[in-house]
Amino acid sequence: MAAEDDMTDPILQKDLKFSHPASQIKAVNVDAPPQRIYDDMKKYEDAARGYSFFGFERTVKDKHGTEVPGGVFVKHRPVDAQVDQVYRMSTDPERTDLERLTHFETRAGRNIALFRSIIGEDWRGVWRGGGAILEMDFDGNEQFQLWRYWEDEFSETTLPKIEGEIENYPGKGRLERITHDEFKYFSTVISRSNKYMLFTCNKENKRDMLVYMTRLSDSNTGAEANSRPFTLEARQIVKSTSEGTARWHAYGFSLDDKYILLARMNSSADKPLYIVDISGDEPTLPELITLPGSQPGASAVIGPAFSFDPEKPHVVYLISNAFGDFDSVVSYDIATKSVTHITTSEKGLSALRPIPWEADMIHTTQKAVLFTVNFEGWNKMYALPLVGPHQGEVVELRLGWEQGWIAFGPNSLNNKPGEVVLHLASYRSKPFLVRIDIDDVLENGVRADPEDGENKYAEPRMRPYSQAAPPVDETAVPPKLLKLKSFDGLEIPCMYYRPKGVTSAVPVVISIHGGPESQSTSQSRTATHGYLINDLKCAVIYPNVRGSSGYGKKYMAADDVEKREDSVKDIGALLDHIHHKMQNELDSSRIAVMGGSYGGYMVFATLTHYSSCLTCGIAHFGITHWPSFLQNTAPVRRAHRRAEYGDETNPEIRTFLERISPINNADKISVPMLITHGETDTRVTIHEAFQMYGVVSKKVHTELVVCEKEGHGYKQKSVIEFVNAAVVQFVERHLLSRKTNL
């Protein structure tokens, strides 16, 4: 039966007898993994500790008035740390120093979501130059607070130790908490002038994520340069309404600080863009931007940003799904209310370079608009020069690497827009950082594509940051793109990895991504990915079932509400495909299914439908009962998730959700399971794991791992290593025997 109680407090926990096999781990029915697994996993876990690019540091002056060029802020978990730390490195790849800025105590469970550089602020009545604003929580519960990181050498005066200041020795930087509550702060944005800061917060009613603005300079907060805690005040830009939960996202300021851009996040496919005039004594109400010629119905925007051109400060560059099935790059002129199509592939719209795939990341600089496009899980990068001989032409930037996933950031705020740091991930490596310089190549290195003379490309030289490169897995297997037809003829794409040098049919792990508005791409997966393929000789398939992003808005909407189990049927089609068309490659008698978050739900649901075709299942922080999930998920997320999954307060929808909930069909599961969950998860609360374990463990072998001070996804070293080892041990025991001769 489904649980009718409010399970926010996990009452089922009292009946469980936990062991404590590792730091921050509580387990039921889990043997401690042998040391050989930890030892064998180490090379993969070291390779998985990649480097994330936070952004360029702003150039500032020290207390002597000397200008100090900014570096690059990077996030990485060192081998001896429990959680990720922040580093600074030079923008010059020839320099190999990597300066660690944060030295948090181990087992703190801190999660840094953002480290946004600023020129400085005068909140305490004195100028503190440089540093950054952080969004950071304590234990994975995503109740992010705002913090100020600074270094005394850039301040007018050295502040005494502030009550509650984080101990950061031996780092030279200091960290002060500037919000002191239990609300969630998010989407922090700094104006290019460094006068203003925007953020969103649910402090009005714990539910609505509303936008607030504060000053960084001439702030007149009244706070003093002393040791007393300081709470940042801000004026509210967007008000709550009676129209249901509001979830706003702040994007940025115009060059002249007259306007700000906001989006209302109604659902993943419905994120309309708004503009607010902040030039007067009071900001105007948000005004909806309707792109002329856009298709009726929901529309979504990605990365909208104003032009850097002082002559055109109110032109906005953005990615939108308003003009067809795919997200495309367009520009919008607020003054003339006109749209220029840059990559839109719909006929008759005269785009500069039509691209019938999803654009997914965009940055605007003084000289170019830079963006990436997702071609079935592989990224390509493009530039639209705004000046120079190729102004108005879309130029592909061809990078000399093995191909994979690209994120990037230009140094435009320091007036060096040609400097771009790339954050690259592929089948061979977790994220590593390189620099490209595009000014000269866009001036002198643009060529016509020999296969299509109308299209242009350039080949910027990549200069690696050797200090920000995890070990490369030389044994890594590149993915193949596998496509199959589902029950209704819809084509389902998958990333398929098969171990090298094995001629017989091998066991297979089907790993399903979360979201569901997400995508399994060509980049390397978790550390267990390499172990499964190289050490256990398993194939791994990552299906992008209907509902995944990257294939257009129709595909992403194909699992909404009443169509939820159509995505489960896609896994059934994959099982049929393995059984009937891949017998020579894959052993259909040994198939495991694995996934996290929504992928965890897919594991549970797949096991209720297809246990007879499966050997075992592994679910990380998965949804087991739709009504209780929707009732207990964080209030700021609830309306957004109801748009995807259905509103459980509607009796008809609730009846449907009860019918498809895995907990109500758990008696159909007949194979062993491993369940892991973060104890402080506010997205999918831990009672989902407790109630599924309580039901399934009565019938089949079930293992439960509870991760302390962890939320939705695992951040701590001890937790990551134990969960990885427990997964490997479970696969060895239940999917295959170590005596298996391949």
pLDDT one-digit tens code per residue, 38-95: 999 999 999 999 999 999 999 998 878 889 999 999 999 999 888 999 999 999 999 9
- Rounded to a whole number of angstroms, the CA Rg of the chain reads 26
Q: Which pLDDT belongs to residue 4?
A: 38
Q: Which pLDDT belongs to residue 13?
A: 65
d(CA 419, CA 438): 7
Report strand pairing: 99-100 vs 85-89. Answer: antiparallel
Q: Which pLDDT belongs to residue 106?
A: 56
Residue 14, phi-psi category: left (phi > 0), alpha (psi -120 to 50), beta (remainder): alpha
Answer for the pair 640, 267: CB distance below 8 angstroms, yes or no: yes
C-alpha dihedral over 309, 315, 319, 320, to 10 degrees? 180
Tokens, residue 65: 């008035």
- For 428, how many CA atoms within 13 A lie in the half-sphere containing its CB? 11
Q: Which pLDDT belongs to residue 742?
A: 34
Q: Which pLDDT belongs to residue 740?
A: 38
d(CA 536, CA 587): 14
d(CA 53, CA 72): 8
What is the distance between the terminal CA atoms of the chain, rounded to a whole angstrom? 43
Respond yes or no on whether the N-terminal peptide bond of residue 516 is cis (omega within 30° of 0).
Answer: yes
Cβ contacts of residue 566 below 8 Å, gap of 6+?
486, 487, 488, 546, 558, 559
C-alpha dihedral over 569, 571, 574, 579, to 10 degrees? -90
Q: Which fold has domain 11-47+472-734?
A: Rossmann fold (3.40.50)
Coil, strand or helix: which one is 40?
helix
d(CA 571, CA 607): 10
d(CA 67, CA 63): 10
Backbone angles phi, psi at 163, to 5 degrees: -60, 125
Q: What sign has the CA pseudo-torsion 531, 533, 537, 541?
A: positive
Beta bridge partners, 293, equal none
Residue pointed to by tokens 């003829």: 489
Q: Which pLDDT belongs to residue 525?
A: 76
Question: Which of the residues in the chain have pLDDT under 70?
Answer: 1-14, 106-109, 242-243, 298, 737-742
Answer for the pair 165, 174: CB distance below 8 angstroms, yes or no: yes
Q: Which pLDDT belongs to residue 240?
A: 82
Answer for the pair 426, 440: CB distance below 8 angstroms, yes or no: no
Question: In 19-172, at which residue ranges do the beta strands (DSSP E only) sit?
Answer: 25-28, 52-56, 60-61, 67-68, 72-76, 85-89, 99-100, 111-117, 120-121, 128-129, 132-137, 145-151
In single-letter form, the type of residue at position 487 comes to F
In single-letter form, the type of residue at position 632 comes to N
Can you list the alpha helix ranges (DSSP code H) found in 478-586?
527-530, 553-556, 564-581
What single string gives the DSSP state of each residue in 42-60?
HHHHHHH---EEEEEPPPE
Report strand pairing: 111-117 vs 132-137. Answer: antiparallel
Cβ burial 370-384 (10 Å sphere, 16+ → b, else e):
bbbbbebbbbbbbbb
- What are the residue boundaries of the structural domains of the chain, listed by start? 11-47+472-734
Tokens, residue 278: 């902040």
d(CA 434, CA 183): 37
Tokens, residue 44: 């993969």
- State pTM to two decimals: 0.94
Cβ contacts of residue 522 below 8 Å, gap of 6+?
377, 378, 403, 404, 405, 426, 427, 478, 479, 495
In single-letter form, the type of residue at position 341 comes to H
d(CA 604, CA 697): 13
d(CA 166, CA 86): 14
d(CA 653, CA 562): 8
Q: At what angle do helices 35-48 and 717-734 cross, to 10 degrees?
A: 120
